[in-house]
Amino acid sequence: GEVTRRVRRKLRTLRRWLTPDAVVVEFAPGDCTFSIELASHVKRVVGVDLSNQADPATRLPDNFTLTVYDGYDLSLEKGFADVVTSDQLIEHIPTDDLPRHLELVRALLKPDGAYVFLTPHAFSGPYDVSAYFCDEPKGFHMKEYTHREMAAILRQAGYRKCRHYWAAAGFVMGMPYACFASRSE
């Protein structure tokens, strides 16, 4: 069904960063369906969310743990993750809190680790309920960013590299920044 297609699409999106020895952190795993599947492809998965939304009847793999936190203070070891991922999270974080989130993620990553996230682009949105009554996110999305804005925020949070990708239906292609940055941004 649709859940299976969504999980497969996310796996195809992340595959270039995954190895059997990888430790992956997923922020906002929701019902943990993707994290559970991801656990069969990597060494360890840690889900991090504001609440436990997993079905209590679901059998969780031994190499998966869910950590519930308050959105600010996370008591996980530093520098243990090869990959941190989130899908449709960044736009929900208040703009004043985003640098703190990015710093928290950076602290979890190994020096050569990657934060791979999907978020809607400001030029083609809004993607929340706001689309029905205005041209800017005013509902559940705090802000939808341009590539230029996100690259600047990542640099300020201490990220050395920022790569841009185009993704559709699980197909991912690295693109030069110039393809995403217009002069009007």
From CA 118, how far away is CA 165, in angstroms rounded? Answer: 9
CB neighbours of residue 147 within 10 Å: 19
First to last CA, the chain: 38
Tens of pLDDT, residues 123-174: 554 444 444 344 554 446 667 778 888 889 999 999 988 887 777 766 777 7
Q: What are phi and psi of 139, to 5 degrees?
A: -105, -115
Tens of pLDDT, residues 26-62: 999 999 999 999 999 999 999 999 999 999 999 999 9
Share of the chain above pLDDT 90, in %: 49
Length of the chain: 185
pTM above 0.75, yes or no: yes
**Helix (H) or strand (E) segment spanning residue 66:** strand 64-68
